[in-house]
Structure 1
Amino acid sequence: MLNTKARTQLQNALPLGMVATKPWLEAQGLSLHFLDNAVRSRTLIPLTAGVYVRLEANLSWKGLVASVQRMSDSPIHVGGLTALELEGLGHYVSIGDKPKIQLYSNSALPRWLDRIDISAEFEWHGTKRIWPETLMHNSQYLRQNTWREALPPLFYSCPEKAILELLTTVPQHTSFEHADQILQGLSNLSPRKLDVLLKACCSIKIKRLFLWLANRQQHAWFKYLTPEQYDLGTGKRLIAQNGKLEPTWQITIPKEM
């Protein structure tokens, strides 16, 4: 028989649709003895070793990521193409049976995340070469997705941050053409946010590539940017293999573009 007070504590700590690890639940004040009894009584359902869901809750990738965000000691957010798709700005819907969810953080994702059977695949992108630690902690450049009422939200990059994150995957996983088409639809970006992000961004490649693509589109916000204040490095940058050199930003681009 489970202690009524501890049962209520468990319900508050682990809402339906979210997951939690045993160490995290213990840190919330639930005893190991209670947790073991909760597993025996099927109040807690093991998803993989040391990771639980309460009762037979239906899991979504949003609930799973919101759970990871809540338990993580360091910032982790949905970014890149997935963040743009959450805003309806992804241009293409993810192809395939399982959507690829782009997660960005300084430290690697917990290993148990890939052991949970769910209709999504998680792709981790390290942020040490993209964003300084201070920006990773700045919620001004994140948005919240209320994936279920009264539960902790899902945090994801604002469009200005997401497009810069997306460019880290060009051309290995995202084509120049796809990135160009996505940026074509981003006519309402905030030049103030872009200016701060471009000053903070650690990647010379991302900044030069973004400025080249943005110059192609000539959105109204482009004229408010200040490239002379961004650290764009020196020398040429090879991005497109067998491409041609773009003279303004000194990057190689596809010959057809």
Structure 2
Amino acid sequence: MSTEMGTKINQLFHLQPPGAILQSSWLVRQGYSHDLQQRYKKSKWLQSIGTGAFIRTGESVSYEGAIYALQKQIGSNIHPGGRTALSLLGKAHYLELATKRIVLFGGSNDKLPAWFKNYDWGYKIAYYESSFLPLDLGFTEIETKNLSIKISGPIRAMLECLYLAPQKQELIECFELMEGLNNLPPKQVQMLLENCNSIKVKRLFLYMAEKAAHSWFNYIDLKNIDLGSGKRSIVKNGVYIEKYKITIPKELQEYGRNI
């Protein structure tokens, strides 16, 4: 290998932290042509994990490294959300460890690359494109495996859980998660609810927050939150909650405190 090629690969390895996936399109923008990428692969400096993505040879791979690459290299909005985000924030460990399932959300224009979908990350990946929340609200940055990635903060994550309910997320489980959110900042809750465009999600969130008797619920101004009109049947043959005009499972209504 030439000295120039060796210098260039050393520079590349300093551009991204260990554990980060290296996307081919990003490498090209950094001055590493497709031909050069293939030479690095042939020289066993890089290892392909699918079309358009590499890792440093010998490195272990994690989905966090893939999320880092999507966010930092191509500006994707794809992020850990729902109960996966709550787990990463230390609010749902017992659930996430048992399920071995990673929940990802992205905007309506975000596509999960084929290399991400086809690689075995050791978890089942559930990815949802949605536009029920703005893409600039409710996030937090965390450090995991020496990588900084953007994930949903607790409020946004709870709203994402309810977005998936009841078909892809059990409502009882949602309420158990809500019970653990006893220190939410009311102003941030208010802002996200005002900017959420799912009537179902907002009604369920407020119902569960009141049912959990969180003190921050008392500071929410319902008059400024559009809860729509008419009834919403979340499940068939359930119990109707007049205040929020929703029909929910009987077991949820009987779980814990009634309102």
Match status 1:208 vs 2:203: yes
Match status 1:160 vs 2:155: yes
1:136-215 alignment runs, 5 A limit: 136-138=135-137, 141-149=138-146, 151=147, 153-215=148-210
Counterpart code for 2:139: L
Match for residue 89 of structure 2 among 87, 90, 103: 87
The alpha-carbon deviation at position 137 of structure 1 amounts to 2.9
Distance 2:232 2:195 in 1: 19
Counterpart code for 1:142: F
SS in 2 for 1:15: coil
8 Å CA contact 1:91–1:181 kept in 2: the answer is no
The alpha-carbon deviation at position 95 of structure 1 amounts to 5.6
Moved over 6 A (4+): none
Of 109-118 and 202-211, deviating more is 109-118
Distance 1:142 1:253 in 2: 29
The alpha-carbon deviation at position 117 of structure 1 amounts to 2.3
8 Å CA contact 2:26–2:74 kept in 1: the answer is no
8 Å CA contact 1:183–1:217 kept in 2: the answer is yes
SS in 2 for 1:93: helix
Counterpart code for 2:238: G
TM superposition score normalised by structure 1: 0.90
1:19-98 alignment runs, 5 A limit: 19-90=21-92, 92-94=94-96
SS in 1 for 2:95: coil
- 1:112 matched residue in structure 2: 115
Counterpart code for 1:101: I
8 Å CA contact 1:6–1:34 kept in 2: the answer is no
Distance 1:82 1:25 in 2: 29
Distance 2:171 2:93 in 1: 14
Match status 1:100 vs 2:101: yes
Distance 1:116 1:249 in 2: 43
Aligned length: 248
8 Å CA contact 1:16–1:53 kept in 2: the answer is no
Match status 1:254 vs 2:249: yes
Counterpart code for 1:188: N
Post-superposition CA distance 1:221-252 (Å, at most 9, x none): 00000111111111111102211221011011
Q: CA RMSD, aligned part only?
A: 1.7
| Change in CA separation of 1:118 and 1:74 when aligned onto 2, cut-off 3 Å | closer
Distance 1:121 1:44 in 2: 26
Of 117-126 and 10-19, deviating more is 10-19
SS in 1 for 2:55: strand
8 Å CA contact 1:13–1:28 kept in 2: the answer is no
Listed as ranges, the gaps of 5+ residues in structure 1 are none
Distance 1:118 1:198 in 2: 33
